Amino acid sequence: MKSFIPREVETLWTLFTAPVVWALHFAACYATVAVFCAKRLPASFSFDSVRIVLFVVTLMALGVIVFAAWLAWRQWGFGDDDPPHNEPTRDSRLLFQGFATLLLSGLSFLAVVYAAVPLMFIAECQP
Amino acid sequence: MTVELGNFSPEERAAQEERLRKVWETPKGLRYWTSVNNSEIGLWYGVTAFVFMLFAGLLGLLMRLQLVVPENDFISAELFNQAFTLHGTVMMFLFAVPIFEAVAIFLLPSMLGARELPFPRLSAFGFWSFLLGGVFVCGSIFFNAAPNAGWFMYPPLATDHEYAGIGADIWLLGLSFIEVASIAAAVEIIVGIMKCRAPGMRINMMPMFAWYLLIVAGMILFAFPPLIAGDILFEMERMFNWPFFDATRGGDPLLWQHLFWIFGHPEVYIIFLPAIALMAMIVPTFSQRPIVGYSWIVLAAVGTGFLSFGLWVHHMFTTGLPQISLAFFSAASEAVAIPTGVQIFVFIATMLAGRVIFSVPMLFGAGGLIIFVIGGLTGVMVALVPFDWQAHDTYFIVAHLHYVLIGGMLFPVVAGIYYYFPFVTGKTLSDAWGKVSFWLMFIGFNVAFFPMHFSGLRGMPRRVFTYPADIGWDWFNLISTIGAFIFAAGVATFVIDILRPKPKPKERNLNPWNSGTLEWTNDPSESWGMRSVPIITSRYPLWDQPNLQADIEAGRFYLPDAKSGKRETLVTSVLDAKPIQCMRVGGVSYVPIIAALALGGVFIALTFHWWIATIISAVITFIAIIWWLWTGTAQIPEMPETDVGLGLKLPIYVSGPASVGWWAMFITMVGDGTAFASLIFGYFFYWTIHSDFTGAGPGPGVFWPMAALVLYLLAWVLTLLARQLNEKGSLGAQAALVAAVIISLAASAAGLAGPYFSGMDPTANVYPATVWIVAIWTVTHGVVGAIMQLYCLARSLAGRMTAEYDQDIRNVTLYWHFMAFTAVVTFAVIGLFPLVAS
Amino acid sequence: MDDDRLTGACRPIRSEERIVRQGSDRNGRTKAVASLFLLCPFLVSCSGIQSALDPAGREAADVATLFFTMLLGGAIIWAGVVGLLFYAARKRRVHSEKNAGRLILWGGAVFPSVVLLALLSYAAWLMPNVRPWFQGADGGMRRIEVTGEQFWWRVRYLDAGGAVAFETANEVRVPVGERVVFSLKSPDVIHSFWIPVLGGKMDMIPGRENRLTLQAEKPGTYRGVCAEFCGTSHALMAFTVHAMQPQDYEAWLLARRASSGVQDAEGLALFLKHGCAACHTVAGTEAQGKIGPDLTAFGERGSAGAGTLANEVEHVARFLRDPGRIKPGAKMPHFTMLPEAETDRIAAYLTGLK
């Protein structure tokens, strides 16, 4: 794994990994339900199966976020260098990126959990 | 970074200053208006937006007067409906978004240590577009022709020609024009923040303001294009009777609501985040310490930016969508409260860990926060679906949104104006006036809007021009009206404080609040911005970097001189801000005004269906833009490198991903792609709501779409080939470009041939209309792509594009990557999806 | 001047008098002010025929409870944040950055996350509870079809088979203790059907049919309105709601099916002569127009002009002489060319229909 994912990332984009996972998960939930409820096809496929599928998608999304969080945590030196990360050095910048990414992973994790709450309580397509 | 700072004798410095002054000089007299300097454009932008705000505020007072007692006949129902439509529209489109663009354009270069944003003429173009569009939209009410269907413009009311006459067209076209200006500003801001920071200002060193603005500009890029796509559909229905929202011909009014709110909800955060960004600059200054929780702010800004795109359906909770769909959006609407809470606690924590000086900016900031928290809490309430079923479209929502926007946006902006007034003018606003203004605004606001929570829950719907006497709304409305006038008195006090003549301060004090950020080194009486571009080693350089101010003014850092006689600024790398280019930016020019006026002419002429004037204006716009590009971009410099000071030599011309132009193209195309995605969303939306989405009519067939697809891909390959050959210095590049132009045009013809030859009538049903609009979108882009290829050919023939200096072809190639993707999606969808679906 | 317009559908009193009377009713005024200052929700001023905080139905009751709970919680949170803000601004001792950072974590992130998760779960649970699933074809529930038109309501009572039993306008009657399905439609623009005392609103969207189920618990006369902006006279589009005891309701249904419009032959003749029948229906007569509101048993209604006027001869006469003056943008043409005696006669005929 180490060889695939470098310990330090020289890009701004990793910051957005976890929120992007949230966005994809959200879009998947919304689109699946919207199409299922509008089309009602095939008839043999019940709404409960949709909920199960979306639960699995949720678990996968959470897995990816946890993985992103772990990478960020590693970049942050497993938490042994506290903020504010304001030194004029590349190291400090990397620590900042790690910490900010970790925080965003936390928020995204929560947001994905929130999005799964309706799946537990609402069992029909009805308006 | 340890480098020897420059050292100049007083004579040398005077000579440098003379040259700098000449290069950055603001023209006098009428030519003043041709200025493109960020400090002028920012100021004009801000003042204009503020005037629009006062105008919309007056409309608000007009409404409050009408509602002061039940069954009032102060103004007619028609005027009331125009007034509330315009009030919302102007506040959102002509004040809240532009004021932040103004502040950003004004502040960012100084804050980042740049001389100028990368595309000053684009800023000027944006401003003139905004001014023209804004006057056009606002002026309509004086001719009794203002839009009257609500700022959300729901069809079928807004597509009804009898009810919503020319006002709806004014709304659609006037605002589309302004949206284009906003996207231009977003491109400018993103590229400016990523590429134009002072050396050493790594991403963990950026001022908070820049972080917020980066996110906000990114949000604009994804939020505005869906509305532009919606506007296109809407205007096609109004002008040519294409039935996108007409249920009798397969359309659906709900598609507009989706597109409008995909824009509309992020919009709220697009407004809110920059205001909070101002607070993030003010709070540390008056707490006399760096912000606590810098990374938390980044979390909050990025998190809000993302989550705000998962909220739009909470404006549609009562449209009868499945409960489960509503609940997803409810979940995201609750989640977005978390980063917002973090934001507020970052400010409180910073104050806790610092020594707080309570000044007028802090007063407005804290007052805004107290108001905003109420708005946030009611926001949490209305995000819960069952509660929203009751509260939706009532005065409870009116109260909620004003608590959010006035507490979260207007108060911080006023705080920001008090804070930055010395930065702009060198003078300070009055403390006494400020306090009076604050208390009037704060008390007036709460008196006006708090009772609305209760009138709303007691059943008072929004947008009513009158109400009956005995339902129990009378007192609430009377009190609201009184409060509104107290609030207006507060705003008036503030305006008077700004306008009243103020004495010149006795001694020069550039940094009256003892702030820590870089912008306070600027002298407002000079138009060059930074005297020299410093090396940054702290988040608060004025606090932590000794002697910084003096060194900057002594020209001891980068770019202390303007020997080339051109406007220059540094371009640095994205993460660590290492200097990589000395960029020349555009100076004073008529071109942006001409282009903006001509483009405005296109939109205005379209409103009145003056087809010939439309065509003439379009041609002028086209010529102006080509002229602008030809004479103002990708100029081959007289020497490859220049000395930027401190022994550093940097290239003047770079191309590809290292150049700002490439980034601007990339960012623009991302926005463009979002608009395209919205149209495709529309296609599939109609597929979901109908059992036979083709309406049993003909489709475009498979042959022509596939032919267009293949031809477009061929044109793309030829463009790539041209770039490769040009890099090798081969004349084959020109041949490849000629071929590419021909193939692009052929592909475009093939793209339209499908729907045309199968006789698809876009007015008959929504299916042919959708296929046509997607095809037209792609073909238009294909034709623009061909013009770009032609432009590269001309540049190559004129010797303005060579193997070494190849910005043009590299940017055009980037465009064609997006074009190829658009073509694949378009023709696969319209050509192949009907086969799959049936 | 429309000063004599009246919108209090349930209290047919000329509005002008009403204002004067209120003005002289010092007691009433004092009470209103007092209740405002003591915060409406805890006092009588929540009450009202159109108040979501004075519920008469199941959904409204659940939502009102939810609101009061959130109001209390919100007030506490607001006071806490403002208190912290004041403390941070005025404190003597400077706190360490570490402690301040902890405050962000616990106060800004953890606390809201937990509270919001709880609220969200409750709301997600509540949704199917207040608006339960219909089993199959509405589970045998009573159905009423309401169509929003600019600016009035077409109300059709459907029988068990789904056929229209009879039509009426601007008035909805429901039995208490029973869940009723409303089928909501619109032929022109988007309207929104809202009876605050019974529950939340639902939009009426052209090309779609929305369903809303509501259950009244408390008999009484209430008011509903259009909640989505629908054009010039959006403000004047209300209706009366009667929640009735089941046996009264059944009796009313029977009576309503049998009502005939030939109770005043002379008035009817004028009504027909001047072309009213082109748009309006009066059951049991030749008048079978479908464009405007059905006027059968018009005299029973709590208001005229969709909750705009008291249902009295003078107001009805005024309305039918010049509807556009009372209700800007209304589609009905004016009849100012008729002698007043005749319009008065038609108005008397209509208000007499039971």
Q: Quick one: average pLDDT of C237-245?
A: 96
Interchain contact A125–B (C-beta under 8 A): yes
Question: Which of B248, B373, B381 shows the shortest C-beta gap to C70?
Answer: B381
Q: What confidence score (pLDDT) does residue C136 get?
A: 54
The helices-and-strands tally (H runs, E runs) of chain A is 3, 0
Q: What confidence score (pLDDT) does residue C14 get?
A: 30
What is the DSSP code (8-state) at residue B563?
A: T
Q: What confidence score (pLDDT) does residue C33 get?
A: 43
Please give the mean pLDDT across all residues of chain C.
86
A48 to chain C, minimum CA–CA distance in Å? 15
ipTM over 0.85: yes
pLDDT in tens, B290-340: 999 999 999 999 999 999 999 999 999 999 999 999 999 999 999 999 999
Percent of chain C clearing pLDDT 90 (strictly above)? 75
Interchain contact A68–B (C-beta under 8 A): no
pLDDT in tens, B796-827: 999 999 999 999 999 999 999 999 999 999 99
pLDDT in tens, B554-593: 999 999 988 888 999 999 999 999 999 999 998 899 999 9
Question: Which of C101, C117, C128 shows the shortest C-beta gap to A114?
Answer: C117
| Beta-carbon separation of A122 and B324 below 8 A | yes
User: Phi, psi (5° rounding) for residue B562?
Assistant: -135, 60
User: Phi, psi (5° rounding) for residue C149?
Assistant: -130, 160
Q: What's the distance, CA B617 to chain centroid?
A: 24
CA–CA distance, C31 with C75 (Å, rounded to integer): 24
Among C164, C166, C165, C168, which Cα is nearest to C155's?
C168
- Give the residue from C53, C92, C116 with the most B CB atoms within 10 Å of its CB, the best one to mutate: C116
Segment B23-28 long-range contacts (CB within 8 Å, at least 24 positions apart): B23/B528, B23/B562, B23/B565, B23/B566, B23/B567, B23/B587, B24/B115, B24/B526, B24/B527, B24/B528, B24/B529, B24/B562, B24/B567, B25/B527, B26/B527, B27/B588
Do the beta carbons of residue B602 and residue B614 sit within 8 Å? Answer: yes
pLDDT in tens, C80-138: 999 999 999 998 889 999 999 999 999 999 999 999 999 999 999 999 998 887 655 55
Whether the pLDDT of residue B60 is over 60: the answer is yes
**Segments of chain A scoring below 70 in pLDDT:** 1-9, 41-44
CATH number for region B658-837? 1.20.120.80
Among A102, A107, A69, which Cα is nearest to A85's?
A102
Whether the pLDDT of residue C313 is over 50: the answer is yes
Q: What pTM did the predictor assign? A: 0.94
Which residues lie closer than 8 Å to B163 by C-beta, 6 or more apart?
B148, B149, B157, C189, C231, C232, C329
Q: Which helix (H) or strand (E) holds B129?
A: helix B120-139
Hey, what amino acid is at B755?
P
Q: Quick one: average pLDDT of B465-489?
A: 94
Q: Can you give the residue ranges of every domain in chain B?
A: 658-837
Whether the pLDDT of residue C167 is over 80: the answer is yes
pLDDT in tens, C250-272: 999 999 888 888 888 999 999 99
**C342: burial class by Cβ within 10 Å (0-12, 13-18, 19+)?**
middle
Do the beta carbons of residue B735 and residue B797 sit within 8 Å? Answer: no
pLDDT in tens, B161-171: 989 989 999 99
Q: What confidence score (pLDDT) does residue A3 get?
A: 46
Q: What confidence score (pLDDT) does residue C3 get?
A: 38
Hey, what amino acid is at B322?
P
A106 contacts in C (CB within 8 Å)? Answer: 109
Helices B323-335 and A90-121, interaxial angle, to 10°?
150
Q: What confidence score (pLDDT) does residue B820 get?
A: 97
Question: Which of B202, B325, B689 shows the shortest C-beta gap to A30?
Answer: B325
CA–CA distance, C240 with C259 (Å, rounded to integer): 20
Interchain contact A120–B (C-beta under 8 A): no
Q: What confidence score (pLDDT) does residue C134 get?
A: 67
| Beta-carbon separation of A113 and C117 below 8 A | yes
| Beta-carbon separation of A90 and B202 below 8 A | yes
B464 contacts in C (CB within 8 Å)? Answer: 234-235
What is the DSSP pairing of strand B579-584 with strand B568-572? antiparallel
Residue numbers of C between 104 and 123 with CB closer than 8 Å to B: 104, 107-109, 111-113, 116-117, 119-120, 123
The residue that leads in pLDDT, C4 or B675, is B675
The Cα angle at residue B519 between residues B518 and B525, in degrees rounded to 5: 135
DSSP code string of B299-362: HHHHHHHHHGGG-GGGG-TTS---HHHHHHHHHHHHHTHHHHHHHHHHHHHHHHTS-----HHH
Q: What confidence score (pLDDT) does residue A39 get?
A: 82
| Beta-carbon separation of B332 and A26 below 8 A | yes
Interchain contact C294–B (C-beta under 8 A): no
- Give the residue from B191, B265, B295 with the most A CB atoms within 10 Å of its CB, the best one to mutate: B295
| Beta-carbon separation of C194 and B386 below 8 A | no
Percent of chain C clearing pLDDT 70 (strictly above)? 85
Interchain contact C125–B (C-beta under 8 A): no
The Cα angle at residue C59 between residues C55 and C64, in degrees rounded to 5: 50
At C12, the pLDDT band (50, 70, 90 cuts) reads very low
Q: Count residue pairs from A and C with Cβ separation < 8 A.
A: 36
What is the DSSP code (8-state) at residue C159?
A: -
Whether the pLDDT of residue C4 is over 60: the answer is no
Residue in chain B nearest A16 by alpha carbon? B302
Q: Quick one: average pLDDT of B600-628?
A: 95
At B357, the pLDDT band (50, 70, 90 cuts) reads very high
Q: What confidence score (pLDDT) does residue B688 get?
A: 92
Question: Which of C113, C124, C134 shows the shortest C-beta gap to A121?
Answer: C124
A40 contacts in B (CB within 8 Å)? Answer: none
B312 to chain A, minimum CA–CA distance in Å? 12
Residue in chain B nearest A101 by alpha carbon? B299
Lowest mean per-residue pLDDT among B41-45, B391-395, B645-649: B645-649
DSSP code string of B415-430: HHHHHHHHHHHS----
Q: Count residue pairs from A and B with Cβ separation < 8 A.
A: 140
What is the DSSP code (8-state) at residue C134?
A: P
A91 contacts in B (CB within 8 Å)? Answer: none
CA–CA distance, C115 with B412 (Å, rounded to integer): 27
Order of strands across the sheet with C238-244? Answer: C171-175, C238-244, C220-226, C191-194, C202-204
Hey, what amino acid is at B98?
P
Q: What confidence score (pLDDT) does residue A9 get?
A: 61
Q: What confidence score (pLDDT) does residue A42 get?
A: 58
Please give the mean pLDDT across all residues of chain B.
94
Measured CA to CA in angstroms, residue B304 lies from B99, B210, B212, B830, C167 at distances of 20, 16, 10, 35, 50
Q: What confidence score (pLDDT) does residue B5 get?
A: 85
pLDDT in tens, B105-155: 999 999 999 999 999 999 999 999 999 999 999 999 999 899 999 999 999
At C9, the pLDDT band (50, 70, 90 cuts) reads very low
C209 contacts in A (CB within 8 Å)? Answer: none
B neighbour chains, 3+ CB pairs within 8 Å: A, C
Question: Which of B253, B292, B394 shows the shortest C-beta gap to C100?
Answer: B292
Residue numbers of B between 772 and 811 with CB closer than 8 Å to C: none
What is the DSSP code (8-state) at residue B570?
A: E
Whether the pLDDT of residue B547 is over 60: the answer is yes
Residue numbers of C between 43 and 102 with CB closer than 8 Å to A: 97-98, 101
Residue numbers of A between 24 and 63 with CB closer than 8 Å to C: none
- Give the residue from B86, B387, B478 with the most C CB atoms within 10 Å of its CB, the best one to mutate: B387
What is the DSSP code (8-state) at residue B583?
A: E
Interchain contact B345–A (C-beta under 8 A): no
